[in-house]
Amino acid sequence: MARFNPKSFAQPDLLKKVQVRNLLELLIPYQPFFEEKGFSFPSDGVEEINYLKLAGILAQPDENMESSLVEALHVIGNIGTDENFDELLDIARRNTVDTGDGEATAKDLTTRIWLAVPEALVRMERAELFHRRKKFESFRAKNPKEVAPAESLPRDFTELEQDLDGWFESRKRGVGCKVIRKDSPGEVRFLIQHGQPCKREPSRKGAQSTCTFFRPEKTDVVIYDLVNNEFRINTSTLGELRLYVQKFGKHLFGDEEKFVYTAKYTLDPLREQGPAALCCRDVPGIEWVRLQEIEYSWPNAFNLAEKYSADDVFQSLAALNRSIDLKAEIPQAVFSVKLEGEKKPRSVSIRPRNTAAYGRGEKAVIIETWLRARGFILIGMAARA
């Protein structure tokens, strides 16, 4: 069952953003549930909807609410935004969905699409999941010169899914793995939907205490970076990380060992260049970069570790007549990067050798360019050291 956010539909003003005919068409299949809660559907085209009553019911979902309704409200609430209007319109036209008159809102479009082709919205929501993922592990091609163009990669993942399913089933994660491909400029993204170990949770059925047994679903992300010829993977376990490197290498490129674990990131420029390592004048799209957090470690001193946080670490150290500790190792640093056209700076976390955490999407290329320009990304022989 989806994680339903009641705020999406629990306010009368938000409900009014959906045309009456669209709202009723969405809710009428669940008429018994709403009538049991005291909500009456309009009997003709004149009677108005009691938005206040309807919002109150949606604000307090219970176990009697159909899971399909929860899923519908969850997806429509998340996807039906003004920012997504053009993409929603394209989806509607591709699927010959009746969008009504020229007064349709984003919520209207989303509702019409859900009623006709709900799977199209589910795919869109899964794709947006990518932008919310930040932490990725990087694996570089064993032979950097062997770059596979996007058009050469398969679109039928039946054998890959079967191979992954074998691993998931052997690890008590069930079967039914699904791989979804989405092409973007400079990279190909793959979403892997699969089950997790079953859970048994205490729950309530009205006044009765009971237990709910279910298998959660999880979506992992694998990115093939065409520009830098590397894999970037977002998952939660080491076993799944190894699985994707091997099986995607095998089924997409014919080589389980095409991508290998070699160092990609270093924080040595902070020690070697100091504040100059944050220069960004030569990278279009960035207004400024500041060091917000740095972690020191001394493995030979009983694993002593220290962490410094500030709005600007270099400025703070200068105020104390101090500088970066040249003797300590730097296992992690966090930068604040202000991109042009964005109100808030982005947080960029680097943990050598292979882990970076920052928002993805088209503008992430700007951050990657800056990391390379300043030497935080190892190139050539340095990466294989």
Residue 99: pLDDT band (50, 70, 90) is confident
Question: How far, CA to CA in Å, does 256 sit from each of 200, 246, 252?
Answer: 36, 4, 9
Bridge partners, residue 288, by sequence: 338
Answer yes or no: is pLDDT of 100 > 80.
Answer: no
How far apart, in whole angstroms, are the C-alpha atoms of residue 80 and residue 8? 10
For range 225-242, the mean pLDDT:
92
Q: Which of 198-202, 216-220, 255-259 has the highest mean pLDDT?
A: 255-259
Residue 189 phi, psi dihedral angles, 5° rounding: -105, 140
Q: Give the global pTM.
A: 0.68
* pLDDT tens string 322-336: 999 998 999 999 999
Answer yes or no: is pLDDT of 44 > 70.
Answer: no
How far apart, in whole angstroms, are the C-alpha atoms of residue 229 and residue 213? 42
E strand map for 125-198: 135-141, 178-184, 187-195
Alpha carbon distance, N-terminus to C-terminus of the chain: 47
For range 32-57, the mean pLDDT:
85
Domain range annotation of the chain:
6-129, 135-260, 268-384
User: Shortest CA distance to 384 belongs to which of 147, 136, 144?
Assistant: 144
Residue 130: pLDDT band (50, 70, 90) is low
Answer yes or no: is pLDDT of 274 > 90.
Answer: yes
User: Shortest CA distance to 19 belongs to which of 120, 136, 102?
Assistant: 102
Contacts of 156 (CB under 8 A, 6+ apart): none
For range 357-363, the mean pLDDT:
80
Helix (H) or strand (E) holding 315: helix 313-319
User: Shortest CA distance to 292 belongs to which of 265, 266, 315, 310?
Assistant: 310
Q: What is the DSSP letter of 148?
A: P
Specify whether the CB–CB gap between 8 and 76 falls below 8 A.
yes
How far apart, in whole angstroms, are the C-alpha atoms of residue 211 and residue 194? 23
Residue 132: pLDDT band (50, 70, 90) is low
* pLDDT tens string 303-354: 889 999 999 999 999 999 999 999 899 999 999 999 999 999 999 999 998 9
Bridge partners, residue 208, by sequence: 205
